[in-house]
Amino acid sequence: MIKTNEIIGKNLSEDLIIIEDIIWDAECKNPDEPFKFTEEGFRASLKIFMANMLDKTWNLQEKNKLSQEERIKQAEEIAKELKKLVKKYTGINTLDLYKLKK
């Protein structure tokens, strides 16, 4: 039985590949021109990255037969590391990306 998230992942993968191709093409044609993604676009790309990262982590955890407790700890560590990386190189606190704007 195919799970809902598996269907979503496969369908979104096709769109993500198209987006990747568009970005590669634009970077080749205009290497010195930034994209100027919106804050919402940046947030969305981080969510997509994190979902993919956790998906691949899940596969490795399954292979290594990690306990649920170990899996949760790893997921929390990944989130903390990504938050730290984003803050260091962009000055953005990822939690601020989800605050409601007034």
**pLDDT for position 99:** 86
Same domain for 42 and 19: no
Domain interval for residue 13? 1-36
86, 92 contact by CB (below 8 A): yes
| Count of domains observed in the chain | 2
Residue 94 CB neighbour total at 10 angstroms = 19
Same domain for 20 and 52: no
Same domain for 53 and 5: no
- Note the pLDDT tens digit of each residue in 84-97: 999 999 999 999 99
> What single-letter amino acid sits at 75?
A
Instruction: Note the pTM of the prediction, 2 decimals.
Output: 0.84
92, 42 contact by CB (below 8 A): yes
Q: How far apart are CA 62 and CA 18, in angstroms?
A: 30
